[in-house]
Structure 1
């Protein structure tokens, strides 16, 4: 009897200790684009699932007149631990140029962010004291607000560690005397600490090479040097050289990084995507690893001359395919690409293409990318090399044929193909300009070579991807590097309260 009493007493004491545990509130400020939101909010969910003392409040900023992120935000499981606040929508001044849109929007939102955080601090007893801000890599101006509340600011970097190292290194060069985008353009390649190989200049992001965007780059990359640490959606087993460079290189070692990825949402509900069930049913009938999937992200699209070349490549290769083909938004417009009506597709593609390929493939609009990559019938992925797409492809063990378009996709493609040997090349130097124009048309022959190469069942790249896929699934489990980095990060946050 006495043993039972003591056992009850120990359990009761433990319960009281749990109830008295200190809590901590973390404010997240994601960038309002679906590619940034998904990984950022997957990280928020991971954080609160790993430690029940943490409370996350997400301050959602929206681009004027866009709703691409609404479906994902609406699907979030709101709880005591995860709280969403939609900040008031703001109209931008007319004629705001593309390079200034984000900074103008963020500056206008700062008062709303301050008010929302002030309201949270008034509820400290209920939700725990404010411990930290986590701001998107493009929202670093919000670090100023974190300082006003005397809490540390962490950046959530939605690309890879090597890419982060490149941004910091080139910014340091730009800070030096007489060095700018013009000097970069006169070089063939650049030695960068976070890359094992020298980086070709034509693999650098356009905003490093375009004089018009130089002030944007300096402001953006300068912001990356201001936080108390950087959380990266990557993992050490994938980018071991890049991660080690942050411990060994004198220019990088002062900035703590936490590679806690891969942060994916493979179970994102796809019921609202028109035709998604038909695509999966069709894949169910295809042999394993036989289908190539062509998809270029939420903002990827091509003009008619390039579409014709892709169609010829697909038909000449004779392979099974799913091709996500999107209609470009009007030049200079903010909205994402849209889907083509069937009649437009018929006139856009080579005459008879849809009839001749009806048995072996599908031309579709927006698709449930993760769900398709997870399917056993998919054998290769022709991709723009957005970082989320790379992580998904590795996770599901599907090799990539790299065809970058814009932003940091060229450097991602270079890393994937030349550093990590996890992809094959279609066109690493292809580039869509800020006005929507492209630098050249990739030939059908080049695309066909890439398609056949990525489907090679005995190739070294496929073997490498399968091995990395296993590592990507283990790294977030106890004993994995991402699990350990996340533990260190949680300790850091909890030590602030």
Structure 2
């Protein structure tokens, strides 16, 4: 890819670990292609994460033209910024960011030529149009989740929302094109589980997703062989100009082979688990991690513990310091379970997940089904047990189990007997079936990011389009 140092792109992610990590991967790929990058973080996020991960972020500063810059999110310092306050964060960011973006575009020394923003930043479109630069959205969720978000107004208009009760959860949703035969109420994004169709969370996700059609393009961290039918739906009904360039973690290793693992995490990585894995037999370990945000009750943790212990399988379990909800003293792991764990388990606070998934001792992944984790599992050829928590995770898990046949979906269930059974189904009874399917998809993922593959070509097209975009962008 030809270098043009004068091209300057501002990248603005939502201040959450999964969003920032995905957009940092994109920023690194664009920087490698010779594009100057200004990566924007909110002051609150920068102080919480990047200052504590200085080693992980130092290598970005070695990319010519790469710089970090902070901006306010517009919220008071003591605002909790928790997932349940998500609409407040998005609304505040949408008010706070346009003035800075306009200032960066008009900078006489190094003006921004293109803005790439998280898909929730709808007001950034207004700022871009006002100053005459191109704007591209990056949605860090799956294509299937994006499409379900987009169809929420249609689902409501058809009377298929709100959900009428727990007995209604297995009712099919028929108004999401391409998903009519398998999408149930329980598979819709978690914010759809409300009684009021005017719920602010519900309206926020629907509104921001529909506004994607006004951008000059849409970047998705996925690949054609995985989500081709849904990508076609989005192209035909929402955004014709899609850059499907994933899986980004695999794409980076192809374009920048010397890249080493790094993550913007709140927790120090515990590498001692790798030595423990080295001692375990091949494909004997179930790896358990519920991501960087989800929390669980002490009772739920105990059910998973008993299920894992009774499965008789070795397990590596990531238990973050803030994983267990509850008052002081209620988040302790029972002593009898710790004793049982010593026989076949390893507990860690945070681990190098891509390395763990690639380890020969690991034979399955019990996951919350966040999109980054799902893609990392797909690239590693690792079958999954899905226990989603919120947002897009519900629909991701349905596709993993029902459409892609890459594992088992146990959403809305938390019972030791079910955990025990699904672990054994995945790793013993149906092991060959799931391993064959996972290997096939892993090969397709790697093919997509290698030269000539769909994601490889789409990234080249994205770079060229950024360099060619005029000051009068056309709508997506």
User: TM-score, normalising length from structure 2?
Assistant: 0.84
* 1:371 lines up with 2:355 in the alignment: yes
Separation (CA, whole Å) in 1 of partners of 2:352 and 2:299: 26
Match of 1:282 in 2: 276
Q: What secondary structure sits across from 1:276 in the alignment? A: coil
Match of 1:131 in 2: 113
Contact 2:122 2:211 in 1 (8 A): yes
Q: 2:285 aligns with which of 291, 308, 314?
A: 291
Q: 2:216 aligns with which of 228, 232, 244?
A: 228
Superimposed CA distance per residue, residues 369-418 of structure 1 (whole angstroms, 9 cap, x where no aligned partner)? 22211211111000000000001011111111011011110000001111
Mapping of residues 57-456 of structure 1, within 5 Å: 57-63=38-44, 67-70=48-51, 71=53, 74-78=57-61, 79-88=63-72, 90-92=74-76, 98=85, 99-119=87-107, 122-124=108-110, 130-174=112-156, 181-182=161-162, 188-191=171-174, 192-195=176-179, 197-210=181-194, 211=196, 212=199, 213-247=201-235, 249=236, 251-252=237-238, 254-264=239-249, 267-269=260-262, 274=268, 276-328=270-322, 347-349=332-334, 351-425=335-409, 427-428=410-411, 430=412, 442-456=414-428
Separation (CA, whole Å) in 2 of partners of 1:112 and 1:383: 38
Match of 1:14 in 2: none
Separation (CA, whole Å) in 1 of partners of 2:454 and 2:262: 29
Match of 1:3 in 2: none
Separation (CA, whole Å) in 2 of partners of 1:218 and 1:272: 30
Match of 2:256 in 1: none
Distance 1:277 1:419, change over 3 A: same
* 1:37 lines up with 2:20 in the alignment: yes
Q: After alignment, is 407-416 or 79-88 more displaced?
A: 79-88
Superimposed CA distance per residue, residues 330-371 of structure 1 (whole angstroms, 9 cap, x where no aligned partner)? 97xxxxx99x9xx987x532x422223313111222222222
What is the deviation of 1:62?
A: 3.9
Q: After alignment, is 88-97 or 275-284 more displaced?
A: 88-97
Contact 2:72 2:96 in 1 (8 A): no
Distance 1:462 1:139, change over 3 A: same
Superimposed CA distance per residue, residues 144-180 of structure 1 (whole angstroms, 9 cap, x where no aligned partner)? 2111221121111111112222122224555x5x868
Relative contact order (alpha carbons < 8 A, sep ≥ 6): 1 or 2 greater? 2
Separation (CA, whole Å) in 2 of partners of 1:61 and 1:300: 22
Separation (CA, whole Å) in 2 of partners of 1:47 and 1:194: 32
Contact 1:27 1:133 in 2 (8 A): yes
Give the gaps of 5 or more residues in structure 2.
Answer: 254-259, 471-476
Q: After alignment, is 450-459 or 293-302 more displaced?
A: 450-459
Separation (CA, whole Å) in 1 of partners of 2:164 and 2:219: 28
Count of residues paired in the alignment? 444
Match of 1:26 in 2: 9
Q: After alignment, is 388-397 or 159-168 more displaced?
A: 159-168
Distance 1:114 1:330, change over 3 A: farther
What is the deviation of 1:75?
A: 3.6
Separation (CA, whole Å) in 2 of partners of 1:183 and 1:294: 31
Give the gaps of 5 or more residues in structure 1.
Answer: 1-17, 332-336, 431-440
What is the deviation of 1:69?
A: 4.5
Distance 1:240 1:217, change over 3 A: closer
Q: What secondary structure sits across from 1:225 in the alignment? A: helix
Distance 1:165 1:90, change over 3 A: closer
Separation (CA, whole Å) in 1 of partners of 2:344 and 2:99: 55
Distance 1:85 1:397, change over 3 A: same
What is the deviation of 1:194?
A: 4.2
Separation (CA, whole Å) in 1 of partners of 2:46 and 2:467: 38
**RMSD of aligned residue pairs (Cα, Å):** 3.1
Q: What secondary structure sits across from 1:294 in the alignment? A: strand
Match of 1:4 in 2: none
